[in-house]
């Protein structure tokens, strides 16, 4: 059990010991803590050792000079130069927000980046400024293209966020796989099983063994539709930004042969461009959906992001629980 | 069997008899014929009678004054004023293309529009200019929000298109339901069954009876992810543009109590903003995927849009076959 402030400081110190500046260490620690607070530990402290391993092997550059190139008033390209993904994405979304505030719309590509955690963390920054945000990022091979028996596309999340109620953000943030790869990694780490029907082993048989699933293929949500969307994300975030694509993004946990070269694409625009009453209307929209007759056993129809937000609110003033294994990793990293 | 040119003229003449200008009649006929050529008859001539019915009942205005409001150099709002969706979407995508050519990116909302057929038809126009296009449109209730037992979201397609090989467009165009509502409509019209597991009847039981499925609920692709994406599309195309949303888009076939008030959102940008070699890279990407080992029985891994394009090429110089029922409707409309 850790107090939030204490854990934030510990993680921040670990990054600083790995030559991060204090600003970069703080941003990175915040994204990791946020994942714990919203109930996505697969994207939280359990990844800290991996990040440190990659820094030690010079695959993540703690002192990367991140370059922002202005293409037009609305459009910018961020070259992350192998910085940690958190910092690159933070700069990317902030640039997109700044462009959108000036011109109504911001389009920002980020190249040579790395895994940045949850898209919803960055989407939230746009929502806080009354902006709509769409974000795409590619990832290491996890999903087979439709008809293929080998993984190539990442879980390649797509995220959309909208300002709505004052404090309740509508954020759809979903990988294109049936379940997050991070969840499978945590299961593998803790020796737990994964649900039936979400992954195949390397021989093409359905498996509930997390380790075998990681060696095999994850199944896309919605079959060929999910596989097609994962392909779209690979093009938007990989091909378009000039980053790695078509299976060349390196797995951060297993592949230390080079930097990840992940790409991100952020599209941000003002929510009230066409409709001054956007917030009122989205509130009406959500209320209408919530009033629908429910299926048996359902007590509330929730909008995308609501559960994460509720967990966040609920966890905000509580201690953070880390699994034994993850806590041990943290303590080792602190003593190194 | 109809010659393409002959059918185009017949449909165009039917629209002209319904007081369309020749330009509007031609655009509308072209979108309908295109659906037949790409092998999507559910969006083709089978809908012609519905459009004519709505024109007769003054729910589609053949003489609508479509207004384009410039919000900024990149952003425009089209008020379709209840024109037919084809014409409104054609103006919308052309405006988005024009904005993107000038500033790198175009964002166009269309309000007070109607069903516009296949998104891929409009996406193709952007691809022809070397632009990337994303498009969202809402639709009448067909999918239940996750946890609800009543339909509210439309099948709400999302489409992404990329320029790639000279003539082979990569177009992902998919409804958020397990199958297109149009396919269920055609099955209902022709008395055919629909696949198992794609729809429930009004009592919540799985049905393969197309008519019962239309009265019931279509299931979203990818369960809560598909339902969430359909919600996102309702907000982007409905709420944001100031059009109908949250179940208020009227069913064009069954509900003659008012115009549809559908919204569309088009995002178009230059493909080479960040990477001058975009086309080379996307071609390499597609080639890499196609070279993957295939599942048993699969002879070729196809990219999104490839099948439609192949059918289009294959059908281009052939006669167009219409089902007896649809051909009869056409002949009646011609004689009216």
pLDDT tens sequence across B198-229: 999 988 889 999 999 999 999 999 989 999 99
What CA–CA distance (Å, rounded) separates A309 from B261? 33
Phi-psi label, residue B82: left if phi above 0, alpha if psi -120 to 50, beta otherwise: left
Using the beta-carbon criterion (under 8 Å), do A71 and B103 form an inter-chain contact? no
Q: What is the DSSP letter of B272?
A: T
Cα A100 to the chain's mean position, in Å? Answer: 22
Give dist(CA B70, CA B32) in Å, integer: 29
Rg, C-alpha atoms of chain A: 20
Please give the pLDDT value at position A336: 87
Dump pLDDT digits (tens) for A230-258.
999 999 999 999 999 999 999 999 999 99
> For an interface test with B, which of A108, A109, A274 has the most B Cβ atoms less than 10 Å from its Cβ?
A274
What three-state secondary structure class fits B262? Answer: strand
Q: How many whole angstroms separate alpha carbon B42 and alpha carbon B46?
A: 6
Q: What is the pLDDT of residue A109?
A: 98
Q: How many residues does chain A have?
A: 336
- Which chain A positions have a beta carbon within 8 Å of B281's beta carbon? 239, 242, 245
**Under 8 Å between Cβ of A11 and A45:** yes
Reported in sequence order, the residue ranges of B203-296 that DSSP labels E, i.e. its strands, are 217-218, 262-270
Domains of chain B: 4-177+220-270 (3.30.1370.60), 179-219 (3.30.60.50)
Non-local CB neighbours of B166 within 8 Å, separated by 6+ positions: none
Tokens of B8: 């185009």
Name every residue whose Cβ is closer than 8 Å to that of residue B69 and which is 6 or more positions away in sequence. B76, B77, B78, B79
CA angle A162–A164–A167, rounded 5-degree value: 110
- Mean pLDDT over B158-169 rounds to 86
Percent of chain A with pLDDT over 70: 99
Asked if A146's CB is within 8 angstroms of B240's CB, the reply is no
DSSP three-state, residue A56: helix
- A120 neighbors A38 (Cβ within 8 angstroms): yes
What is the chain B residue with the closest CA to A290? B148
Q: Which residue has the tokens 């052939």?
A: B318
The residue among B285, B284, B310, B291 whose CA lies nearest residue A148 is B291
Please list the helix, strand and coil fractions of chain B in percent, rounded to the nearest 5, in that order: 40, 20, 40
Model confidence band, residue B336 (pLDDT cutoffs 50, 70, 90): confident
Band of residue A207 on the pLDDT scale cut at 50, 70, 90? very high
Q: Which helix (H) or strand (E) holds B6?
A: helix B4-17
Across the interface, whether the CB atoms of A172 and B228 are under 8 A apart is answered yes
CB contact under 8 A, A228 and B293: no
pLDDT at residue B223, rounded to an integer: 87
Q: Is the pLDDT of residue B159 over 90?
A: yes
Q: Which residues of B touch A274 (CB under 8 A)?
A: 71, 77, 109, 111, 240-242
Can you tell me the mean pLDDT for B25-48? 96
Q: H helices within chain A, ranges in order?
A: 4-17, 22-37, 48-56, 85-103, 119-127, 181-190, 210-215, 224-233, 278-290, 306-315, 324-335
On whether the CB atoms of residues B156 and B209 are closer than 8 A, the answer is: no
Contact A292 B144 (CB under 8 A): yes
Confidence of residue A223 (pLDDT cuts 50, 70, 90): confident
Report the residue from B172, B235, B267 with minimal CB separation from A232.
B172
Burial degree of A299 (CB within 10 A; 0-12, 13-18, 19+)? exposed
**B241 vs B179: which has the higher pLDDT:** B241
Q: Is A310 exposed, middle or buried (0-12, 13-18, 19+ CB in 10 A)?
A: middle
Q: Do B301 and A149 touch (CB under 8 A)?
A: no
Sole residue written with tokens 């939230």: A124
> In Å, how far is A47's CA from the nearest CA of chain B?
25
pLDDT in tens, B302-331: 999 999 999 999 999 999 999 999 999 999
By three-state DSSP, how is residue A131 classified?
strand
Q: Which of A111, A222, A269 sits opposite B226 (nearest CB)?
A: A222
Q: Is B157 helix (H, G, I), strand (E, B) or coil?
A: coil
CA pair distance B244, B139, nearest whole angstrom: 9
pTM above 0.90, yes or no: yes
CA dist B282 and A95 (Å) reads 26
Cβ pairs bridging A and B (under 8 Å): 213
Residue-level pLDDT at B324: 93
Interface contact flag, B236 A132, Cβ < 8 Å:
yes
């Amino acid at each position: 059990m850790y107090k939030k402030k204490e854990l934030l400081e510990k993680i921040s110190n670990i990054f600083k010991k790995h030559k991060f500046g204090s600003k970069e260490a703080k941003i990175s620690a915040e994204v990791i803590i946020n994942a714990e607070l919203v109930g996505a530990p697969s994207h939280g402290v359990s990844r800290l050792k991996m990040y440190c391993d990659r820094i030690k092997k010079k695959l993540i550059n703690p002192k990367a000079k991140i370059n922002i190139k202005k293409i037009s008033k609305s459009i910018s390209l961020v070259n992350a130069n192998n910085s940690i993904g958190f910092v690159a994405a933070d700069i990317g979304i902030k640039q997109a927000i700044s462009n959108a505030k000036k011109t109504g719309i911001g389009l920002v590509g980020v190249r040579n980046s790395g895994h940045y955690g949850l898209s919803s963390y960055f989407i939230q920054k746009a929502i806080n400024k009354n902006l709509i945000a769409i974000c795409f990022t590619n990832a290491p091979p996890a999903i087979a293209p439709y008809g293929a028996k080998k993984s190539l596309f990442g879980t390649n999340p797509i995220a959309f966020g909208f300002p709505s109620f004052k404090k309740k953000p509508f954020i759809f943030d979903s990988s294109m796989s049936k379940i997050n790869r991070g969840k499978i990694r945590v299961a593998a780490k803790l020796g737990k099983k994964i649900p039936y029907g979400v992954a195949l082993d390397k021989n093409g048989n359905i498996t509930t063994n997390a380790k075998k699933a990681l060696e095999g293929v994850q199944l896309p949500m919605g079959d060929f539709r999910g596989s097609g969307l994962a392909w779209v994300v690979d093009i938007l975030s990989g091909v378009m930004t000039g980053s790695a694509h078509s299976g060349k993004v390196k797995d951060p946990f297993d592949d230390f042969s080079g930097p990840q070269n992940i790409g991100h694409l952020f599209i941000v625009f003002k929510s009230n461009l066409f409709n001054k009453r956007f917030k009122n209307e989205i509130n009406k929209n959500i209320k209408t959906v919530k009033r629908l007759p429910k299926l048996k056993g359902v007590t509330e129809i929730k909008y995308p992001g609501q559960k994460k937000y509720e967990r966040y609110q609920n966890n905000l003033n509580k201690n953070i629980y880390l699994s034994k294994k993850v806590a041990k990793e943290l303590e080792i990293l602190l003593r190194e």
